[in-house]
Amino acid sequence: MLIIRKISIASQTMRKQGIAGVLKVLARKLDTYSRRKLPVSSLWEIAPLFRYATCDDLIQLKARYPIYCYPDRESKEEWGLKTVGRLYCVDKIIKLKPNTMIEVGAGWSPYFDQHFGEQNEYWMLDDGCYDPFDKFDLALKNRQNTHFVQGMLGDFNPKLPAEYFDLVFSVSVLEHVPSALKNEVYNDMYRILKPGGWIVHSIDLLDFAGLSEFDYISQAGFVLPSKADLHFSIRPSDGPATLFEPLEHVFNYQLGIGNDQKWHNPPSVYRHLPTILVMGYKPDGEN
């Protein structure tokens, strides 16, 4: 019966769309089959990576690093893109053991200051332009182990010494950089990183924007995988399911935070983002 049904579907497609339509359907089937055979790049290796985070990634990171979840790993706040990005960076910091590291765009979160500031030389770069401003200033005063530099990558700030850092990392930050500034941002990042040093980022971008990001990072000189792995996995046949931002976060933080009228005229959701896990390095012996 299954064979008869498939023949019937193929016949209907032929009548409606011709041979081109049949070939298109066949191509989609072959693409699905080939993706099913492709392994997802390992989360745990110290090796170049550029792929979407999966639901499995978040679960395994939470299982491995419970003390780095806050307030705890059962909290409903601990299931979003920032959580997987944060724990991804935790995993790499623990494994790389950098002497000097800088977080880009930490905002008022003291997370890495609290967890790694005592055993690592931890810097934080941020422009400090937040509303309310006093919240950022108060958070800055409460940091115990942070070497803070105000500014942005791409400014080529002399306060950020060249070839100084073993690790440059960020969590859900670089997607906010305008396209016109991407080259300067990654060139500056390359400048401050030691030869042999690593970059680790989670970047909340979709398909074509993600591919462009891959090009910007590669063109700056960083070593990434030979190609970006940016296919979505939704069906069981696709492989491990892609992680998307919880709708609660999308609605409350991107569309309606602080807006008491949001339920009277609910906004439409036009973006439901995944996050790209990025790991690359600066080749040894280059300036």
Q: What average pLDDT does this structure show over 221-237?
A: 93
Q: What average pLDDT does this structure show over 67-76?
A: 85
Examine the pLDDT at 64 and tell me if it is beyond 90. Answer: yes
Q: Is 7 exposed, middle or buried (CB count within 10 Å of its CB: 0-12, 13-18, 19+)?
A: exposed
On whether the CB atoms of residues 106 and 176 are closer than 8 A, the answer is no
Q: Is the dihedral of CA 187, 189, 193, 195 positive or negative?
A: negative
Q: What is the Cα 38 distance to its own chain's centre?
A: 21
Q: What average pLDDT does this structure show over 263-283?
A: 88
Longest dimension (CA), the chain: 72
Examine the pLDDT at 243 and tell me if it is beyond 70. Answer: yes
pTM equals: 0.83
Examine the pLDDT at 93 and tell me if it is beyond 60. Answer: yes
Of residues 73 and 177, the one with the higher pLDDT is 177
Examine the pLDDT at 192 and tell me if it is beyond 70. Answer: yes
Which domains, from first to last, does the chain contain? Answer: 48-254+270-281 (3.40.50.150)
* CA-wise closest residue to 169 among 44, 16, 280, 21: 280
Query: Which one-letter DSSP state was computed for residue 151?
Result: S
pLDDT at 6: 46
On whether the CB atoms of residues 259 and 201 are closer than 8 A, the answer is no
